[in-house]
Amino acid sequence: MSERLGTPERPLRVAIVGAGPAGFYAAEALLKQKDIACRIDFFNRLPTPYGLVREGVAPDHQSIKSVTRVYDKLAAAANVRYFGNVTFGRDVLHEDLRRHYDQIIYAVGAQSDRKMGIPGEDLQGSMPATIFVGWYNGHPDYRDLPIDLSCERVLVVGNGNVAMDVTRILVSDPEELAKTDIADHALEVLRASKVREVVMLGRRGPAQAAFTNPELKEFGELPGVDVIVDPADLELDPLSEASLAEDKTAAKNVEMLRAYAARGSTGAPRRIVMRFLVSPVEVIGKDGRVAAVRIERNQLFQAPDGSLRPRGTGVYETIECGMILRSVGYKGVPLPGVPYDQATGTIPNRGGRVIDPATGEPVPGEYVVGWAKRGPSGVIGTNKPDAAATVALMLEDVPLLTPAPGDGDIESLLRERGVDFVSYEDWKTLDTHETSRGAAQGRPRVKVTRVDEMMEIIHAGRQR
């Protein structure tokens, strides 16, 4: 028998940790090439696959979720297995994967968030937008968050697309959301919501906003919602004005914001107020809960790298609110046994090859894709070329690899450890359950949001 890696007799064994878009696109790149025979095993913490497509993409953006059809096709390949409900570092260890696989790909995304670093940030009612997103999307970790929408005004800090998503969900007509796969517990709270105004705070100007044109356009199309922008915020400094010639997205954003400013208030029942050049400096509490936020007016200055950065002017204002969501970026969390860069929140790497920070040398056989590789930027599709670039390096490295000593029979190991892992077939049982519950209500699906309930449905499916 040939021991040459990548032959039908001894296929290259690849473990992918994380079954979100980046992981699936890595699998796609491996399956597409014809030179090296491979076998791929996914390990995913939740029973459900798709990562941010299920738990991040806003429920009113259903069309984006159709990419899962591509992932399902990949998962159906004879040389691909899925082990869901398996936590890396607990159910399966770094050394297990090293023993059984020739190459490991980390596709774990960015599971945490950045903080603002201001007093009062941990008061009740102040939280990261990322967990609010998890809550309305039915992520089991966040489904029991005590979300209180009994206040009239919410502040959202940040000018990225996540800030746009949470703002839109907070002012949307719940009956429109009821047609989507939004989690039932969130729908119930949103139906009773007293929130009438969401104020978005951008620390820089409208020309530096990170949100994109379709998301800003959607604001103007929400029924019953006014978009309020102060025309004074749209009087750009000369450097911002000049930057618009180079940046079509920013130019279009500014054009749309000017149209919103011109339209002003129509007396709609709900409002989005977009403020620019302001930073929160303190969250003020009353009886342990958020009551107001003190903000400081900023001005822009040109940093040595040429970018325009914000600087406080010493002019302050206080805005009353009952909740503040910080949407200032996701951040990775370290995996046991895997290098981690605290500063960037990513796995240190060169083009996708994991680097040992002590030596600066690649860790043989270990790779990274997606947000864990490049940080939390880009849309779902950005992960496709990103993963393909990592896979190209993996294939280049194959001739230099020492084959994994184990026989790759991870399934027996998981069974011995009593891990109740979920196969793709099991996931399809749950998927069918969710979509049929959804069909009965004219919705794409009704999500099951507790792991124990997911497992009950899966166990019942195995009996049939």
Binding site for ligand NAP (CB under 6 A): 116, 157-163, 165, 203-204, 208, 210, 215, 279, 327-330, 376-379
DSSP 3-state of 368 = strand
Q: How far is CA 410 from CA 14, 82, 136, 214, in A?
A: 12, 11, 35, 44
Question: How many whole angstroms separate alpha carbon 242 and alpha carbon 204?
Answer: 16
Smallest gap from residue 201 Cβ to ligand NAP (A)? 7
Nearer of residues 169 and 335 to ligand NAP, judged by Cβ? 169
Q: How many other C-beta atoms can be found within 10 angstroms of the C-beta atom of residue 127?
A: 21
Smallest gap from residue 393 Cβ to ligand NAP (A)? 23
Nearer of residues 162 and 229 to ligand NAP, judged by Cβ? 162
Smallest gap from residue 90 Cβ to ligand NAP (A)? 28
Smallest gap from residue 330 Cβ to ligand NAP (A)? 6
Q: What phi, psi does 295 have (nearest 5°)?
A: -120, 155
Smallest gap from residue 153 Cβ to ligand NAP (A)? 18
Smallest gap from residue 168 Cβ to ligand NAP (A)? 10
Nearer of residues 52 and 410 to ligand NAP, judged by Cβ? 52
Question: How many whole angstroms separate alpha carbon 413 and alpha carbon 203?
Answer: 51
Smallest gap from residue 327 Cβ to ligand NAP (A)? 6
Pairing outcome for strands 197-201 and 153-157: parallel
Smallest gap from residue 394 Cβ to ligand NAP (A)? 25
Q: What phi, psi does 444 have (nearest 5°)?
A: -60, -35
Q: Output the CA torsion 395→401→407→409 (10° steps).
A: -40
Nearer of residues 66 and 436 to ligand NAP, judged by Cβ? 66
Nearer of residues 78 and 343 to ligand NAP, judged by Cβ? 343
Helices (H) then strands (E): counts for the chain: 16, 18
As to burial, measured by CB atoms within 10 angstroms (0-12 exposed, 13-18 middle, 19+ buried), residue 192 is exposed
Nearer of residues 88 and 330 to ligand NAP, judged by Cβ? 330
Smallest gap from residue 237 Cβ to ligand NAP (A)? 15
Task: Give the pair of three-digit tokens for residue 326.
Answer: 């910080």
Q: What is the DSSP letter of 110?
A: -
Note whether 299 and 311 are within 8 A (CB).
yes
Kindly list the strands in the beta sheet with 270-275, ordered across the sheet, starting from the edge strand earlier in the chain. 126-128, 323-326, 153-157, 197-201, 270-275, 225-229
Measured between alpha carbons, how far apart are the two ends of the chain, in Å?
40
Question: How many whole angstroms separate alpha carbon 87 and alpha carbon 157?
Answer: 32
Question: How many whole angstroms separate alpha carbon 454 and alpha carbon 138?
Answer: 12
Nearer of residues 45 and 275 to ligand NAP, judged by Cβ? 275
**In sequence order, which residues have a C-beta less than 8 Å from that of residue 395 and are 6 or more positions away?**
33, 35, 36
Which residue has the closest beta carbon to ligand NAP? 160
Nearer of residues 18 and 158 to ligand NAP, judged by Cβ? 158
Nearer of residues 223 and 378 to ligand NAP, judged by Cβ? 378
